[in-house]
Amino acid sequence: MTPHNDNQDTRVRPLIGIVLGDPAGIGPELIAKLLADPASQESGHAVLVADTWLWEEGQRIAGTRLDLPVIERFAEAREYTTPVLMPIDSISRDETRYGEANAAGGRSARHALTQCLDAAVRGDIDGICFGPLNKYAMKLGGMNFEDELGFFADYLGVNDYTCEFNTFGSIWTSRISSHIPLKDAPSYVTRERILKAARLTDKSLRLAGFAEPRIAVAAFNPHGGESGTCGREEVDTIAPAVEEAQDEGLTVSGPHPADTLFLKVRDGEYDAVVTMFHDQGQIAIKLLGFHEGVTVHGGLPVPITTPAHGTAYDIASSGKANLRPTHNAFKLACQMAASNRLSS
C-alpha cells in the first residue's frame, strides 16, 4: 500500500467514509468488491469503517483479497493514496445470521454510520457511502425514525427540508413524502413541500454536474386531476407551486400526468421528477434502471449515498451481488463531495 507522497496530493481528492451496511445482507461483499476494483478508486479516496472480522468475511464471500492499512483516527486517512481501514467493534460473529434482520445488525450499522457522521462534522471526510441497510433492523436496533434520512438529519441538526433522491445517472426522482402509509400521502401535498422539493432537486443536480436541471413535477391524481374533476390538488396546490418555482428561475414544469410522464423522462425531455409519494417514482425508476440505481440523501450538509436496492437477504453470503449500483453510489458521492469542496 502506498502512503501519501508529494507527487500525488490526496488532499485534492474527496475522502469518502465507507460503511458495510447491514451485516446480515449483501453489503459486506459489495464493499469488498468495490474496494478491490481499481476503477472505483479513480473517483476518490475511501476510508472503510468496519469490524475487522466482518470486512474479512465480506472479502471471503466476494473472493477478493485486499490488505488495507489500519488507521486509528480519520485524520490519518488523507496520508494514503489507497483505501484504509478504521476498525470498530460493533457486532460479534455470533450475533450475525445471514438473511435475518435483527437488533444487533441494526445497532452495528448505526454505530458505523455515526462514526462517519461525526467525522464529516469535523471535516475529516467529505462524504459517506454505505452498503444497503434494513430499516426494520435499524428500528430494532434503536433508530427512532421512519428511515435513515430522518436519523441523519436529526443527528446533523438539520431542520430544513430533506428528501431521498433515486437516480441511475441521467434520470433523478425526488418525492415530497417517503416512508409513510399511503393514506397519509394527501396531507403532504402542500405548496411549501413541492417548492422546497423543486429547489433541493435543482441544487442537488447541480452538485452532480447538471448545468441547468430540467425538472418535471408529477400530478397527484389520475390523468392530472382532469381539470379539477378528478381531484383538486393539481389546480389548488401543485400548479401554483410550479409557477412560484418558475418565478424563482428554476426550469420547472407541471403538473404532468404521472402515468405518461416517465415516458418523456426516459426519452430525455427531463432530468428529474418531483413525485408526490414514494411508489409513484420508485416503480418507474426501478423498472428503468434497477441494476444501476443509487439513493442520495438530499438536503444534508454532507453527500450521503447508497445503492438503491435493499439488503437482498435471499442471496446474502452467496457472492452473487451485483456491484454496479454500489460503484455508482461511490462515484456519485465523490462527485458531489468534490463539488461541495469547490463551492465552499
Condensed to tens digits (0 to 9), the pLDDT of residues 292-304 reads 999 999 999 999 9
Among 7-16, 194-203, 292-301, whose mean pLDDT is lowest?
7-16
CATH label, 1-158+300-344, candidates 3.40.50.2000, 3.40.718.10, 3.90.226.10, 3.40.1160.10: 3.40.718.10
- The residue assigned the cell 454536474 is 209
Q: Does domain 160-291 have CATH number 3.30.465.10?
A: no
In this prediction, residues 36-48 reach a mean pLDDT of 91
pLDDT for position 7: 33
> Boundaries of CATH 3.40.718.10 in the chain?
1-158+300-344, 160-291
Q: In the 8-state DSSP scheme, what is residue 230?
A: T
Cis amide prior to 255 (ω within 30 degrees): yes
Among 45-59, 123-137, 156-170, whose mean pLDDT is lowest?
156-170
pLDDT for position 340: 84
pLDDT for position 9: 40
Measured CA to CA, the distance from residue 339 to residue 344 in angstroms comes to 9
Please report which confidence band the pLDDT of residue 4 belongs to, taking 50, 70 and 90 as the band edges.
very low
Please report which confidence band the pLDDT of residue 169 belongs to, taking 50, 70 and 90 as the band edges.
confident
Per-residue model confidence as pLDDT tens digits over 216-238: 999 999 999 899 999 999 999 99
Backbone angles phi, psi at 144, to 5 degrees: -100, 45
